[in-house]
Every structure is written in structure tokens, then in C-alpha cells.
Amino acid sequence: MTNRRDFLHGAALAAMPLGTGLLPDDATIAPMADFHAVLVDARHAEALRFGARLAARGASVRQVQDGDITSLWLDDIAPAWRKAPVPLAGLTRPPVLFCLEQLAWSHGLRVVFHAEHVVEPGSATLHTTHRPSYAAGMRGPLWPTVVADRIAAHGARLTTERPGPSLAALQPELPRGAELLTSWIIASA
């Protein structure tokens, strides 16, 4: 359930010039240094653009090759989570989030931010935000940058009550030729 503080934060976000995708470098937006890493699917230019935006905010960006997180999991994320439930963020295809979410539960982490982006060649990208529900307003060709700013603004905090599983496992019906990307934050909850 959204509390008053979250509602006010949501209202503040809604007032930002998100439609343009040209957020000012706002000192009130937290740097990404608290995040262990930001994962981007190297097959998608949108994800790389998202990663570049967050790298500029101090994030440590990792490229996921061929959608396979095995080496990242074994060499990087699992050792980190064994020490502390540090947050992760990403813009990837859904299976990357699905795998990490399943693995995260044992370490006390949940998906606290989850949005989906239906990328269709020749059409505007369709955005749906599942968690938190107020994070609407992502549109325009520079949407990966907008989403990156959303992620930075959201940070690792929990904005609703402790969440259950996300919708990463199952996909909606998509237009033919479309690809589903998902932006997300996994954090302690």
C-alpha cells in the first residue's frame, strides 16, 4: 500500500519533464554508487543507452552477453549477495530478471521496481509500469534515458509494502516482431 511519503514522492516524479526524456542533471537524484551493478542486455541499443546514462551517474555497468547471466552470477553477483543484499538494476529481456529474481529471494531481496517496454520496429515503444504503480510517463525516443533517470530517482528503497513475485516469468501477447524489454531494481526488502 502506498503511504503518504510515497504518494508525495510519486507526485514529485510526475512533475518532472519526463515526456521529453531530457531530465536535467538534478543533484536531488541520488548517484548510483549504492548499487552493486547495473545490468544491460548487450543485444539492445536501448539497454546500452540506459547503461550509459547510469554510468554517468556513477553506476558500475555490466553487459549481459547473449542473455546469459551465468558468469555474472557466479563471479560477481552471488559472491556479493553472500556478503550483503546489495541492490542491482537493469534493462534486459525478461529472462534475466526472472533468473535474478528467483536467485535474489534466498538473499532477502525482491524486485522493487519493474517496468516493461514493448519495442516494435517502426512504432512508438509502449511502456507499462508494474511496480511501483505511479512511475508512469516514460515515452519518446529517448525513453531509455528517462527510464535510467527513473531508476536513479527510485534508488534501492522500498516504496510499497514488501512485494511478492514480479511478472517477469510470463510474457504478455506482443505485436508480431516486437521485443519485450524490462527495467528493474532488485533490492533488500
Partner 1 sequence: MALPPNVFATDFNAALAGWRDAVGSDWVFTSDADVALYRDAYSPYWDEPEERRASAAVAPSTVEQVQAVVRIANQYRVPLYAISTGRNLAYGGSAPAYSGSVVLDLKRMNRVLEVNEPNAYALVEPGVSYFDLYEHIQKAKLDVWIDPPDPGWGSVIGNALDGGGGWTASPFRDHFGSHCGMEVVLANGEIVRTGMGALPNAKSWQHSKWGFGPWVDGLFRQGNMGVVTKMGFYLMPRPEAFQQSTISVSREEDVIPLLDTLNRLENQHVLNGSTQLFGGGLGTYGAQPWSVTAPIYGPEKVVRVQMEYVREQFAKVPNAKFVEGELFRTPLSEDALKRVRLVNFGIPNLSTFGMLGRTPQNPQPAGGHIGFSPIIPRTGEAVIEFAHFYRENLPKVDNGNNLGIVGPVFMTNWERTMVALIMFPIGRDKARNALMRQAFEKWVALAAARGWAEYRAPTPFQDLVAQTYSYNNHALRRLRETIKDAVDPNGILSPGRYGVWPKHLRKG
Site stretch for partner 1 (CB under 8 A), options 19-27, 32-40, 129-137, 172-180: 172-180
Q: How far apart are CA 175 and CA 67, in angstroms?
A: 21
Tell me which of 25, 33, 66, 122 binds partner 1, using CB under 8 A. 66
Q: Please, which residues bridge with residue 72 across strands? A: none
Residue count, binding to partner 1 (CB under 8 A): 37
Tell me which of 9, 115, 180, 183 binds partner 1, using CB under 8 A. 180
Q: How far apart are CA 35 and CA 58, in angstroms?
A: 9
Site stretch for partner 1 (CB under 8 A), options 29-37, 132-140, 145-153, 158-166: 158-166
Q: Per CB under 8 A, does 95 bind partner 1?
A: yes
Site stretch for partner 1 (CB under 8 A), options 121-129, 136-144, 147-155, 163-171: 163-171
66: left (phi over 0), alpha (psi -120 to 50) or beta: left
- The alpha-helical segments, DSSP class H, found in the chain are 4-14, 45-56, 70-72, 78-83, 94-105, 143-154
Task: List residues binding partner 1 (CB under 8 A).
Answer: 66-70, 73-74, 78, 93-96, 98-99, 102-103, 105-106, 110, 161-165, 167-174, 176-180
